[in-house]
Structure 1
Amino acid sequence: MSNHSTKIWTKDFINISLVQFIVFIGFYTLLTTLPIYVMKELGGTEAQGGLVVTIMLIAAIIMRPISGNLIEKVGKKNTLMWGTGLFSGTMFFYLLVDSFIGLMILRFIHGLSFGVLTTVVSAIAADVVPNERKGAGLGYFAMATNIAMVVGPFLGLTLIQFISFKVFLFVVSIIILLSVLCAFQVKVPQITHTIIKNTMRKFSIHDLVETKALPIAAISLFVGVAYSSILSYISVFANTNGLENVASYFFVVFAVVMILARPSLGQLFDVKGPKYVIIPSLIVFSSGLVLLSFTSSPWMFLVAAAVIGLGSGSLLPSFQTMCIQAGGPGRSGHATATFYIFWDIGIATGSYVLGLIVAMFNFQVLYITCAILLLIVLGMFMLQQSWQGKEQKVKEQVPVENV
């Protein structure tokens, strides 16, 4: 009985992980190909190509605060089915778009569904994973995104070399439609009814975010800024430094190291606690960015990818797990939404601000700046842990004093 209750790889966990994988296959496939589509098919500029990426993230950020309350009111299963249906259905409208304005409107709508869907999928994953194995379970779940981050761009950039954009968009639409089938198979644990009734009495900030998760979510924002330096600029960095021939291998090495390290780091999180994972991960991530800033050869480039993958791989699931644990099981939707609000803001802000740093200085300054930022984050996290520890001691002493 106990073995079953602590099992991670259940049918529901596998299906919700597949939903996450398929959705992010679509996200990363379009992330890398739509800018090319804008320039080649719609006659747009590079700036306009970047806007089709940014507008979707902005829509997702707008939707995050609403998502938590929507999920708890409508129900996670219903939100999951509507979310996958809208996200998949919107894909087919890309076949009808023939103008930049039309594409921007469609991307905004797609971003709204993406914001709700990714929030509810992560919340359900947190519910189906046993409490005592949250770190390991959500670490495995995050691997779906990591693998999609490699497969998506590779699939997209390969397909557009052999087929037209219209055929390509149709193929991707069919692939994403599979997420609806996987979502249908998921059984969501019913654990939130009482809490929903209590929180629906009147509107408050708790209807939008989980306030207990705010300290960790705020810290994750700055990690998102540093992470955006890889997502948004690694390909440009490679081209600038004559490494375009090995650029496609960066995320392969990055993901392989991340996947290999994830199981042991997830177990370490569950057994020893978050600080034993997050503190060394921030140091390794920072070191990898410093190494990248001085990269001048293919082997250094790929070694930096491995170090960065090792350091950054467990940060997102670790911070997300901490947010969910802070909110409690009945608030997993709000806690997940709170985490992603700050994470998305970090990615979106970093993608813009770091571009200004590159324009004013160079990539070396960019990556050293991000490395320093991560060390500042390390200090912030240690302060948060110290404050949380003191607060916990006070709570433990209260019953004793009352006796």
Structure 2
Amino acid sequence: MSQPHDPPAKLFTRDFLLAGLANLFISMVFYLLMTSMALYAVDRFQASDSAAGLAASIFVIGSVTARLFAGKLLQVLGRKRLTVISLCLFVLASVMYLFSGTLWLLLVVRFVHGMAFGAGNTAIATAVQSIIPSARRSEGTGYFGLSTTLSTAVGPFLAVLLAANGNYTSVFVFCSISSAAALLICLLIRMPEPRPTTERHVSHVRRGSFIRSIVSPAALPISLVILVCGVAYSGIISFLAPFLISSSMAEAASWFFVVYAITVLVSRLFAGRIQDRRGDNAIMYPLLVIFALGMAALAFDPSNLSVVSAAALTGLGFGALMPCAQAIAVNAVPPAELGIATSTFFLMLDVGIGFGPVALGLVIPHLGYTGMFGALTVLSVLGIGMYFQVHGRHARGSRGNAV
């Protein structure tokens, strides 16, 4: 039985908690495989460095491809149906790793797996935005995002633990079980569906409707800010470890992400509340500045102090920035367009994080690691100006009366 259009004021409902748990399992599979896939391709298929990198990154390419059409699919299939179909494919792809006997088959499985992730993640994230009370949207989005934050720490840890001595079979079995658990949990979630309206049907034949079914014009501006910040953050994901290793600080790379994860967990306990009560600018400007300072801390020869400072600042900045920006994106559209807005937001995030390292890899030989992080600091500062232009100068106060 469908739920009322306006959700109750209570945030921690049964469906909200189940959605967070499902997202934890899905995200854990993503980070576990992303951590271990390149090494697996080398050990199992003697892949070259470029092929091993492709084995890891083609998942993101699949995710981006799916997000291009996820908004349209949400309108055609509905949130619950798209979630179930995507997670069935997600489970199948997880199992197929066990039977991928060639590198080419592995690449195909990774691409399909990424598509299932992109579509399923978009569907769940959209449904959650309808479950969260509109007046507590930033707070609820932040809490929901904690499941992803937890997976960034647990996934890589399990990858190292399960793949010890080259035992990748246990990795794939665990991912298959986690994927099946996410599917079963999602079957129990009651996902509100938007009411079919005349406007919704007219939009299918409206001029330019194909582009609008892929990208939401209202959500795109703030999503472009996240794309810029995502490119900057991709420099940390891809090049922080080799940067610190080359500086004889290999151990610092491991506890950087521990400090980062702790800071993200803490920041999401209060950032959403501030945004809901004080307005977007009250939290977005400080977060963008803090993130830029975190990038700047890496633009010098590393020390224990600079690494810890960078971990804390980027965790507070980028970690809290994502749910706050997502709340802006979904609040910019009517309820029937939540799917397209969510898809647009994560599409830009995936493009920034997934393809940023390609461009940065071309910069490093010329600028070095510190020069690259210096350039990313400038990019982060430009993100502040971009936010002002696309949203900050128009932002209102609290959304206590938001629709």
Look up the equivalent residue of 1:14 and give its one-letter code.
L
* 1:399 corresponds to: none
Aligned partner of 2:120 among 117, 121, 124:
117
Q: Contact 1:224/1:343 (CA < 8 Å) preserved in 2?
A: yes
Give distance in 1, aligned partners of 2:12 and 2:155: 24
Structure 1 residue 295, shift from structure 2 partner: 4.7
CA RMSD of aligned residues (A): 1.7
* 2:325 corresponds to: 319
* 2:375 corresponds to: 369
* 1:199 corresponds to: 203
Structure 1 residue 255, shift from structure 2 partner: 0.8
Equivalence map 1:158-177=2 (5 Å): 158-161=161-164, 164-177=167-180
Structure 1 residue 157, shift from structure 2 partner: 1.3
Equivalence map 1:350-389=2 (5 Å): 350-385=356-391, 388=394
Cα deviation 1:28-59 (Å, max 9, x = unaligned): 00111010101111101222111112211112
- For 1:41, what is the secondary structure of its paired residue? helix
Give distance in 1, aligned partners of 2:52 and 2:295: 27
Give the direction of change, closer, same or farther, for the CA distance of 1:107–1:206 in structure 2 (3 Å limit). same
Structure 1 residue 304, shift from structure 2 partner: 1.7
Q: Contact 1:72/1:192 (CA < 8 Å) preserved in 2?
A: no
Q: Contact 1:358/1:365 (CA < 8 Å) preserved in 2?
A: yes
Aligned residues: 387
Q: Contact 1:134/1:321 (CA < 8 Å) preserved in 2?
A: yes
Is 71-80 or 202-211 further displaced after alignment?
A: 202-211
- For 2:170, what is the secondary structure of its paired residue? helix
Instruction: Give the gaps of 5 or more residues in structure 2.
Output: 1-6, 397-403
Equivalence map 1:3-402=2 (5 Å): 5-161=8-164, 164-194=167-197, 196-201=200-205, 203-385=209-391, 388=394
Look up the equivalent residue of 1:31 and give its one-letter code.
M
Give distance in 1, aligned partners of 2:251 and 2:8: 48
Look up the equivalent residue of 1:197 and give its one-letter code.
H
Give the direction of change, closer, same or farther, for the CA distance of 1:214–1:122 in structure 2 (3 Å limit). same
Is 163-172 or 348-357 further displaced after alignment?
A: 163-172
Q: Contact 2:231/2:353 (CA < 8 Å) preserved in 1?
A: yes
Give the direction of change, closer, same or farther, for the CA distance of 1:13–1:228 in structure 2 (3 Å limit). same
Give distance in 2, aligned partners of 1:125 and 1:23: 15
Look up the equivalent residue of 1:212 and give its one-letter code.
A
Structure 1 residue 163, shift from structure 2 partner: 6.2
Look up the equivalent residue of 2:104 and give its one-letter code.
I
Give distance in 2, aligned partners of 1:212 and 1:318: 16
Give distance in 2, aligned partners of 1:34 and 1:253: 24
Q: Contact 1:73/1:196 (CA < 8 Å) preserved in 2?
A: no
Give distance in 2, aligned partners of 1:121 and 1:233: 31
Q: Contact 2:288/2:317 (CA < 8 Å) preserved in 1?
A: yes
Give distance in 1, aligned partners of 2:239 and 2:179: 26
- For 2:248, what is the secondary structure of its paired residue? coil
Q: TM-score, normalised by structure 2?
A: 0.92
Give % identity.
28
Give the direction of change, closer, same or farther, for the CA distance of 1:386–1:176 in structure 2 (3 Å limit). closer
Give the direction of change, closer, same or farther, for the CA distance of 1:187–1:200 in structure 2 (3 Å limit). same
Cα deviation 1:94-141 (Å, max 9, x = unaligned): 001122111111111111111101111110111100000000000111
Q: TM-score, normalised by structure 1?
A: 0.92
Give distance in 2, aligned partners of 1:100 and 1:252: 33
Give distance in 1, aligned partners of 2:79 and 2:195: 10
Give distance in 2, aligned partners of 1:96 and 1:291: 45
Runs of 4+ off more than 4 Å: none
Cα deviation 1:360-388 (Å, max 9, x = unaligned): 22110111111111111101111223553
Structure 1 residue 162, shift from structure 2 partner: 5.1
Give distance in 2, aligned partners of 1:153 and 1:325: 33
Give distance in 2, aligned partners of 1:296 and 1:344: 28
- For 1:136, what is the secondary structure of its paired residue? helix
- For 2:164, what is the secondary structure of its paired residue? coil
Give distance in 1, aligned partners of 2:316 and 2:171: 33
